[in-house]
Amino acid sequence: AIDIKNLRAATGMITLDPGYKNTGSCESAITYLDGEQGILRYRGYSIEDLADKANFLEVSYLLVFGELPTQDQLINFENDIRKYTLIHEEMKDIIDGFPKSAHPMGILASLTSALTAFNPRPVNVSSEKEIYNAVCKTLAKFLVLATWVHRKREGYPLSYYDNTKGYVENFLHLMFAIPTEPYKENPIIVDALHKLFILHADHEQNCSTSTVRIVGSSHAGLFASISSGVSALWGPLHGGANQAVIEMLEAIKNDGGDVEKYILKAKDKDDPFRLMGFGHRVYKNFDPRARIIKKAADEVLDALGIDDPVLDIAKKLEKVALEDEYFKSRNLYPNVDFYSGIIYRALGIPSEMFTVMFAIGRLPGWIAQWIEMRSGGEPIGRPRQIYVGENLRSFVPVDKR
Ligand code: ACO
């Protein structure tokens, strides 16, 4: 293994790699990804096995601590998370300060950052106990705050974690239960959500995770680093794609449902339009997560007996694009976000909350990567550049310009 602490920045020669398409920024033992073969593993376990057999907190534990928890460790982990689910009452004032129209990801990034104000002491990364508590605290508070963003927008009273229920069940109750109408859990939905969160839980050095690592590399705190990850995830080329998928499907429906017309638009190089939910930076053959979630999407739609013209358009689009030479020759397949948006819509989650769903799933990955980066003693992230600006110029006073 490379001794990171003794690495010296090379001087004299700089590699230019816009978008870091071929640049490794770190060594990591968390996620293995082979984009050509469509392989994704967390800590050596295949994503297919984990999505099928594990629950979300089990996978969170695995990502962060490196091993699957024993039964006792898992029970303790769930209990320890419960201890931190109360949110400081003054956080409600901050939530109230946002206009109702604010985008949920903007609110969530701000609230996550605001947690720093209520937890000002930095985590001592050489203390296992402090790290463990910080992991539980972050998983607990982020989930509640994410659902409060939704409640605030809906005008619902803010509600509290129910210690008799699991983490994913709590997500559903925190989102949807109102005093006059308790939420009825459907096991198929709970199972699909576990899968969705697991599939999103880590994806090596994607844009938001690299952001969390680079912000944390300046020794900024965990909440501040996670908050920057939320902001990076917000963009439509990353986590924002799941919202963009449904908005695109709605636009096609409102425009008469002509799928072929939009396929032509996506292929037209003079048109900036892209088929949202198609293509991936690293999966150039297929996205293994998409296969798993397509099955879950079918199960959820069947179980809920949903008849939605927008979802019909999704199916048509998928079929036409998969048979089209342009998409085939560029290996552009539906990615995980094409299907995740479909499930979220079927569950009644508003499209503006879709990227928040992604963030809840990605949180354990961000935490695991932050801890790995800090405990590995990585140096501060500081890329170089190739300067292409002006040569030395003489200053001209303002009255002479
Ligand atoms: N629709 C139409 N054409 C596309 C699409 C698309 N969705 N995606 C890529 N292409 C084309 C490009 O125009 C390019 O064509 P060319 O070779 O003729 O110039 C070729 O396919 C390669 O595309 P790149 O942009 O070079 O691929 P890159 O790896 O840089 O981008 C990305 C990947 C950003 C995901 C891209 O496919 C895209 O914009 N997809 C839509 C947005 C989306 O779904 N994002 C979610 C990503 S998954 C996630 O974050 C979990």
Ligand 1 atom with the shortest distance to the CA of 266? 2
- The identity of residue 190, as a single letter, is V
Asked if pLDDT for residue 327 goes beyond 80, the answer is yes
Report whether 179 contacts 272 (CB < 8 A): no
CA-nearest residue for atom 50, ligand 1, is: 238
Distance 90 CA to ligand 1 centre (A): 43
CA-nearest residue for atom 2, ligand 1, is: 274
The DSSP code for 98 is S
Asked if pLDDT for residue 165 goes beyond 60, the answer is yes
280 is catalytic: yes
Task: Identify the residues whose C-beta falls under 6 Å from ligand 1.
Answer: 237-239, 241, 266, 274-281, 330, 332, 335-337
Give the pLDDT score at 182: 83
Distance 355 CA to ligand 1 centre (A): 19
CA-nearest residue for atom 38, ligand 1, is: 279
Distance 383 CA to ligand 1 centre (A): 25
Under the banding of pLDDT at 50, 70 and 90, the label for residue 174 is very high
Under the banding of pLDDT at 50, 70 and 90, the label for residue 242 is confident
Asked if pLDDT for residue 284 goes beyond 90, the answer is no
Q: How far apart are CA 234 and CA 362, in angstroms?
A: 12
| Candidate of 105, 318, 330, 333 to mutate for ligand 1, largest count of ligand atoms within 8 Å of Cβ | 330
Q: What is the ipTM, given to two decimal places?
A: 0.93
End-to-end CA distance of the chain: 56
CA-nearest residue for atom 11, ligand 1, is: 330
Asked if pLDDT for residue 6 goes beyond 90, the answer is no
Q: Which distant-in-sequence residues (6+ apart) come within 8 Å of 400 by Cβ? A: none
C-beta neighbour count of 3 within 10 angstroms: 7
Distance 279 CA to ligand 1 centre (A): 5
258 is catalytic: no
Could you give the C-alpha distances from 274 to 152, 236, 279, 341, in angstroms and in order? Answer: 33, 11, 10, 17
Give the pLDDT score at 3: 59
Distance 373 CA to ligand 1 centre (A): 29
Report whether 176 contacts 349 (CB < 8 A): no
Q: Which distant-in-sequence residues (6+ apart) come within 8 Å of 98 by Cβ? A: 106, 107, 110, 152
Distance 385 CA to ligand 1 centre (A): 25
pLDDT digits (tens, 9 = 90+) for 90-106: 999 999 999 988 999 99
Report whether 6 contacts 379 (CB < 8 A): no
| Candidate of 198, 233, 274, 335 to mutate for ligand 1, largest count of ligand atoms within 8 Å of Cβ | 274
pLDDT digits (tens, 9 = 90+) for 346-399: 898 999 999 999 999 999 999 999 999 999 999 999 999 999 999 999 999 999
User: Would you give the distance in Å from CA 280 to the centre of its chain?
Assistant: 15
CA-nearest residue for atom 29, ligand 1, is: 281
- In the three-class reduction of DSSP (H, G, I as helix; E, B as strand; rest coil), residue 47 is classed as helix
* 68-72, 251-255, 316-320: least confidently modelled range: 316-320
Q: How far apart are CA 41 and CA 55, in angstroms?
A: 15
CA-nearest residue for atom 49, ligand 1, is: 238
Of 110, 88, 112, 109, the C-alpha closest to 97 is: 110
pLDDT digits (tens, 9 = 90+) for 183-229: 899 999 999 999 999 999 999 999 999 999 999 999 999 999 999 99
Give the pLDDT score at 2: 57
Ligand 1 atom with the shortest distance to the CA of 206? 50
Task: Specify the residue for token string 């989930």.
Answer: 143
Report the percent of the chain where pLDDT is more than 90: 76
Distance 247 CA to ligand 1 centre (A): 17
Give the pLDDT score at 11: 52
Could you give the C-alpha distances from 107 to 80, 226, 240, 356, in angstroms and in order? Answer: 26, 13, 15, 10
Which residue among the candidates 162, 280, 302, 308 is catalytic per the annotation? 280
| Candidate of 280, 318, 366 to mutate for ligand 1, largest count of ligand atoms within 8 Å of Cβ | 280
CA-nearest residue for atom 41, ligand 1, is: 276
| Candidate of 332, 340, 355, 358 to mutate for ligand 1, largest count of ligand atoms within 8 Å of Cβ | 332
